Amino acid sequence: MRGVVAAGHPLSAEAGASALRAGGNAVDAAVAACLMSFACESPLTGPGAGGFMLVHSAGGESRLLDFFVAAPGLGPGAEVPAPGALVPIGVEFSSEASQVFNVGASSCGVPGTLAGLTHALERFGSMALSELCDPAAAVAREGVALAPMQAYLHRILAPILASTPEGAAIYEPDGRPLRAGELLRLPELGDLLERLGAEGSGFLYRGDVATALSDWVLERGGLLTRDDLAAYETVEREPARARYRGREVLTNPPPSSGGILIAYSLSLLALLDRPGDERTVVEVMERANAARTEEFLNGLNSEGYLERFRAEEAMEAVAGQAADRLSASAGRSARVSPAAGREGVAKPGELGSTTHIAVLDSGGGCASVTSSSGSGSGVVVPGTGIHLNNMLGEQDLNPFGFHRHEAGRRIPSMMAPTVVLGDRAPEVALGSAGSNRIRSAVLQTLLAVVDGGLSAEEAVARPRLHFEEGRVDAEPGVDDGALAELEAAGYEVRRWAERNLYFGGVQAVVLDRDSGALSGGGDPRRGGAAVVAA
């Protein structure tokens, strides 16, 4: 089948394209690419991670598959201990920026990727799981030569990856982080993938691997029980929807937060109707940030919250306030960042250890899937090939305190796999890495395609803005006049000297509604790649 795949690594994109060439559909290709990403991007994703897949089938069905990390701690109270202490580990992004990540067994939530990918294949795919697992298993065993971007990630995350003897044996076999060009071999992951192809994912949730994971984590102060794993299921949800310039935009619904904040932003932009205006985009980003209150996070798990959050009267009121500020902004005094004109550096918490895959096929199907291990917990369970996530220790996902989520509930996420439909047929599938920058990266890439008419590659490469904590960060290439207008409106503006992974890692695929041409964009900020399968 003809189609296009964009992914965070060239081998992942090629694995998806190979599935299309073999006659598979978009979901087959997405699963193949995800499995390959376990071997190619293991600090970011893997069988110990969680994620989401947004599917629009050739038959017109749209579903969000939620296989994100769940809070652990199910079981009889006497058997579930109080959580042990999180392990703080400092990670230095540069000489000027560092962060303490919370890792260790107490940070590990219930992983969902294997359950989610097998569910997606059974529900929407057409190929055998073994066909998709075997290439990834071979690469995991043979090893992947680290590209410069992967070597950079390995280097900065080394304090976490090598924080346990099990992790050090994999990621620092010679007593130091692997360098660009050196091979990362994951033979136990290869064994797991081969077994997955033969048996399905049951062994991780109810079999011997489930027992090994739970025992290992509980013995080290974590909360992951056998009941947590046995109870875990992929949840199918109705996507959140927004209308924008004649298209229907589908994205991640509650209990996740990133998708509905994108839908909120698009609804405001549609009401304001000022396409291509950076000042308006920043105003909308600011409004979306302000909406993410503790009440918002608490409401994500309540019935009907999406409808209440985006009620028509409330949206019109916020749009009116934004319009008034836009009209009055020229008279505000300027605040120029001390860093203006110099290279920006990532603030603490801004790596966003996540990866995305997007696929369109010629039959009218598409799949958009984001997965993440957080920063990784450092907990590698011997004999399983699994490095567990640290979602219970991620500050961005736990802004009001750790270990507060009810056992069994999904942890709210910023991840926002997104699909744009025109005349009910998919035109765009995209998503991003980048923690809090996911929203701004996806929003601006989508606008570049819909408003600007750009191809996927052009839209992904386009310079980005991000607003957070009162400041606008801007990549080189953003219009100087627009930045001056933002400063005149009172915003602090930090101009970056180089394009940077701080601004997200978007993978996008586009079907041109006029010509029918397919294009793919793998984000150069994170070593992404795209392949068109002819």
Q: State the catalytic residues.
A: 354
Instruction: Report residue 197 CA to chain centroid gap.
Output: 25
282 near 486, Cβ under 8 Å? yes
CA distances from residue 91 to 178, 184, 389 in whole angstroms, order as listed: 17, 21, 16
Which residues 6+ apart lie within 8 Å of 277 measured at CB? none
How far apart are the C-alpha atoms of 444 and 460, rounded to whole Å? Answer: 9
154-175 burial, b at 16+ Cβ within 10 Å, e below that, comes to bbbbbbbbbbbebbbebbeeee
On whether the CB atoms of residues 2 and 524 are closer than 8 A, the answer is no
Going by C-alpha positions, the residue among 231, 236, 232, 233 that lies closest to residue 53 is 236
Token pair belonging to 475? 């990549």
**Tokens of residue 450, six digits:** 């819909």
Dihedral sign for Cα atoms in the order 281, 285, 290, 294: positive
In 122-256, beta strands by DSSP E? 144-145, 183-184, 235-237, 240-244, 247-251
**Do 230 and 205 touch, CB atoms closer than 8 A?**
yes
Q: How many angstroms separate the CA atoms of 246 and 248, rounded?
A: 7
Instruction: Give the CA distances from residue 318 to residues 80, 261, 321, 355, in Å, rounded to whole numbers and listed in that order.
Output: 45, 14, 5, 33
Q: Which two tokens stand for residue 218?
A: 């509980």
Taking Cα atoms as reference points, which of 16, 46, 25 lies closest to residue 528? 16
Nearest CA-CA partner of 56 in 120, 114, 103: 120
Q: Which residue has the tokens 């929807």?
A: 241
d(CA 336, CA 181): 42
The residue to which tokens 């995991």 are assigned = 140
CB 243 within 8 A of CB 400: no
Residues across the chain: 534
Residue 516 CB-density burial (10 A; 0-12 exposed, 13-18 middle, 19+ buried)? exposed
Residue type, 251: T
